[in-house]
Amino acid sequence: MASGNEEERSARGHHGDKIIEIDYVELKNGEDRALVRRKKRRRRQKVKPALIILLVAVIAAILVAVLILGSVSKDAAGREKDAGSTGASAAADGDAGDSGAAGTQEDDGEDGDADTADAKPYYYNPEREGRYAAFADAHPEIGMEDVYWMVDCDLDVAPYEDTHPLPDPNDILLMVNKHFYLPDGFAPTDLVPVGNTMMRAEAGAAMQEMIDAAAAEGLNLWSQSGYRSYGVQVNLYADYSAQGGVEGADTHSARPGYSEHQTGLTTDLNTITDAFGDTAEGKWVAENCWQYGYIVRYTKENTDVTLYKPEPWHMRYIGRDAAKVMHDEGILSLEEYWVKYVLYQPPETSAAGAGVG
Ligand SMILES: [Zn+2]
C-alpha cells in the first residue's frame, strides 16, 4: 500500500495534470465514497472562479492586443519614413548597406537603441565591444567616437604590456609607440645626411626643403638628432633611467625598439628644449611642417594618447598626403590617424571629400 502511494506520487510529480485521475484510482481501491463526493464538489467549486479568471484574462488579452496593434502600425509608419534617409546614408557610406539592414531588423523591438546603433563609425570592430565598453566605463570624460579609435590602437592596454612588432618597419606610415615596436635589429638602408644627422632619403629630402623654406623667411632650423640605432637607444634609455628611474625615463625617452628615431623618419630640431616651442622657429614649424609631410609628434593636445610629454622639437615624417589629411581634419595624433586611415580606410565618398578640402 505504502509503496503504491509512493508510485502514484512520483507519477504526479512528472505529470502534474493527472492529479484527478490518480485520485480516482486511489479511491476505487480504497475506503471512503464520501471523500470522493467532497473532493468532486471542491473541484467543481474551483471551476467557477477559474472560469471568471479565464474571462477576465481573455478580455485583458483583447485589450492588450488592441494596444499593441495600434503602436505597431504607428512604428511601421515611422520606419517607412526612416527607410528613405537610412537608404541614402547607406549609399553614401558605400559599405554600410549590410549593417544598416541588420540594424533595422534588430531595432524593430526596441525603439531607443536605433540611433546609437546607426552612429557606429567605420572603424568600429564588433569583436572589441567588451573592450570599448570597459574603456568607456573607465573614462566617462571621453566621447564614444574617440573611445572606438583609442581602443583600436590599444590605448586600453597599459604601456609596454602586450606589445606588437610592426610588420613592415619600412612603411612611411608606421606607428611606433609604447604598444608597437620595431623588429629586432631593424636599421633603414637608405639613410642620407641632413646637416650632421642621418635620415631616410624621402624624409631627409623633405626636411631639407623645410629647412630651406624657413631660411627664406629668415628662420634658422637645423636637424640636431636624426636616426638613432637600436644600440644607441639602449645606452640613452639606460642613462635616463639611471638618472630619473624607469618611470621618469618613460615620460620622455623611448625604450629600445620603441623609438621613432630608429625608423629614420624622425629628427629633433635645434635646441631640443621646451623653450624651442616659443621661438619664432618653433611656432613656424608647428604651423607649416604639414606642408612638407611632417607632424610635431608629441604635443600638449595629445599627451593622453602618445603618453609622452610635449616635444615641440620632435618631427616625424609621414608624407605630404597624410600630413595634409591630419591638418585638414584636425587630427591631433598619429595614433588617431593610423586607426582611421591605415588600420581602417574611410568609405570612398568621405575620402574624396577630404581630398577636395
Ligand atoms: Zn625625438
CA distance 93 to 313: 39
User: Reduced to 3 DSSP states, what percent helix, strand and coil does the chain have, rounded to the nearest 5?
Assistant: 60, 10, 30
- For the cut 50, the answer to whether the pLDDT of residue 250 exceeds it is yes
| % of residues, the chain, pLDDT over 90 | 62
The reported pLDDT for the residue numbered 348 is 78
* Residue 343 Cα to ligand 1 middle (Å): 25
Q: Give the structural domain span for 304.
A: 153-356
Q: Report the domain count for the chain.
A: 1
- For the cut 80, the answer to whether the pLDDT of residue 181 exceeds it is yes
- Classify strands 311-317 and 294-298 as parallel, antiparallel or unpaired: antiparallel
- For the cut 60, the answer to whether the pLDDT of residue 104 exceeds it is no
In a domain, 81, yes or no: no
The reported pLDDT for the residue numbered 161 is 95
* Residue 166 Cα to ligand 1 middle (Å): 19
In a domain, 135, yes or no: no
In a domain, 287, yes or no: yes
* Residue 223 Cα to ligand 1 middle (Å): 11
Helix H or strand E segment including 92: helix 33-93
The reported pLDDT for the residue numbered 353 is 45
Half-sphere exposure for 245 (CA within 13 Å, toward CB)? 2
In a domain, 78, yes or no: no
CATH number at residue 164: 3.30.1380.10
The residues that are catalytic are 311
Q: Which one of 96-105, 207-216, 240-249 scores highest in mean pLDDT?
A: 207-216
- For the cut 60, the answer to whether the pLDDT of residue 309 exceeds it is yes
Helix pair 280-288, 201-216: axis angle to 10 deg: 130
Which triple of cell numbers denotes residue 215? 631660411
User: pTM for this one?
Assistant: 0.66
Q: Which one of 64-68, 84-88, 249-253 scores highest in mean pLDDT?
A: 249-253
pLDDT digits (tens, 9 = 90+) for 133-166: 999 999 999 999 999 999 999 999 999 999 999 9
In a domain, 18, yes or no: no
Name which of 248, 307, 308, 249 is nearest 274 in CA terms.
308
